[in-house]
Amino acid sequence: MTAPGSTPRTASRTARPRHYLMCPPTHFTVTYAINPWMDPAKPVDTELAVAQWEDLRDLYLRLGHRVELIEPLPDCPDMVYAANGATMVDGKVLGARFRNAERSAEGPAYLEWFRANGYQELHDPVHVNEGEGDFLVTGSWVLAGKGFRSAPESHAEAQEFFGRPVIGLDLVDERYYHLDTALAVLDHDEVMYNPEAFSPGSRAVLERLFPDAVLADAADAAVFGLNAVSDGRHVVLPEAAAGLAEKLRARGFEPIGVDLTELLKGGGSVKCCTLELRRPAH
Ligand code: ARG
């Protein structure tokens, strides 16, 4: 409920059409474990994963966004997590370099997609970075996770390449091994996050930069509620994150819950499946 005399914040939330790159989970399965969510002994229904993923893609299209597709490689079951494939800011593409051998072929495959599609400012990284899994772009900064996957040195490499301030954040809970499992950008410099996933110092940095942030509780974090994609108005997130949806609604956002439970078996959800293509602002 809006207090008498105050304006509902919904009125001020504006969606901006986005451009995404996604990878169909044609070859998705769990045959190795590189994060605590993955259990090769648990069966995976690839057809169901494809259907859930198609619903997400269709939702983006209905919301007015553009979606590009990259061809999945048969030996890369995790390639569906397109967010890890690169980071693109102001038309500049920073390629990914994966920590684990199981995913190493994905970095060059994504970089090749950008090359083949006419993107010209490409940087093949020296240091390990797992794309938008660990780099999240706000209006003013690039937030950069480390602790489990991306190398600390990748933060300086990203700052030099993008010419944007990179804020390093330490992840301390192995369930939230990528920054995009613990924090999501909602709008310009507005975020939501799970404080428990960060070191005390990083938590203090987040409080300083985002005193108004939406905070997720443990239950919403555990269903990957923070692995969300926002266009400034609509926030697409796992439907199980009911508490978080309520908090977003109170801030004037329009939360849209989706079912990506099959892809959660690989340790990913909405944001993991979505790489944003950001051109220079005009
Ligand atoms: N199985 C993948 C891995 O552990 C999941 C990646 C999820 N992607 C993400 N952007 N967090 O690397």
Domain containing residue 236: CATH number: 3.75.10.10
- 269 Cα–ligand 1 center, Å: 9
Residue 4: predicted pLDDT:
47
Tell me if 158 is assigned to some domain: yes
Residue 99: predicted pLDDT:
98
Which of 272, 273, 275, 276 for mutating ligand 1's site (highest number of atoms within 8 Å of CB)? 272
Backbone angles phi, psi at 192, to 5 degrees: -130, 145
Tell me if 7 is assigned to some domain: no
- 23 Cα–ligand 1 center, Å: 13
Residue 11: predicted pLDDT:
58
Tell me the C-alpha distance between 186 and 213, whole Å.
9
- 249 near 192, Cβ under 8 Å? no
> Which residue ranges have their beta carbon within 6 Å of ligand 1?
34-35, 38, 78, 81, 83-84, 103, 133, 178, 180-181, 266-268, 272
Residue 223: predicted pLDDT:
98
From residue 152, alpha-carbon distances to 70, 215, 243, 274 in Å are 28, 25, 33, 23
Tell me if 227 is assigned to some domain: yes
Which ligand 1 atom minimizes the distance to the CA of 272?
10
Which of 21, 32, 79, 81 for mutating ligand 1's site (highest number of atoms within 8 Å of CB)? 81
For the chain, 282 residues long, give each residue's pLDDT as a single digit of tens: 444 444 455 558 999 999 999 999 999 999 999 999 999 999 999 999 999 999 999 999 999 999 999 999 999 999 999 999 999 999 999 999 999 999 999 999 999 999 999 999 999 999 999 999 999 999 999 999 999 999 999 999 999 999 999 999 999 999 999 999 999 999 999 999 999 999 999 999 999 999 999 999 999 999 999 999 999 999 999 999 999 999 999 999 999 999 999 999 999 999 999 999 999 875
Domain that holds residue 239: 19-276
Tell me if 24 is assigned to some domain: yes
Tell me if 10 is assigned to some domain: no
Tell me the C-alpha distance between 161 and 73, whole Å.
28
From residue 144, alpha-carbon distances to 118, 129, 141, 169, 255 in Å are 27, 10, 9, 6, 25
Residue closest via CA to ligand 1's atom 1 equals: 266
At a CB cut-off of 8 Å and minimum separation 6, what does 135 contact? 87, 94, 129, 142, 143, 144, 145, 150, 158, 166, 179
- Please tell me the total count of domains within the chain: 1
Q: Which of 83, 124, 77 is nearest to 102 (CA)?
A: 77
Which of 29, 84, 275 for mutating ligand 1's site (highest number of atoms within 8 Å of CB)? 84
Which ligand 1 atom minimizes the distance to the CA of 267?
5
- 267 Cα–ligand 1 center, Å: 6
- 200 near 244, Cβ under 8 Å? no
For 255, the token pair is 């939360």
Tell me if 163 is assigned to some domain: yes
Q: Which residues are catalytic?
A: 178, 272
Tell me if 120 is assigned to some domain: yes
Which ligand 1 atom minimizes the distance to the CA of 100?
12
Residue 282: predicted pLDDT:
55
Tell me if 213 is assigned to some domain: yes
Name the residue type at position 139.
G
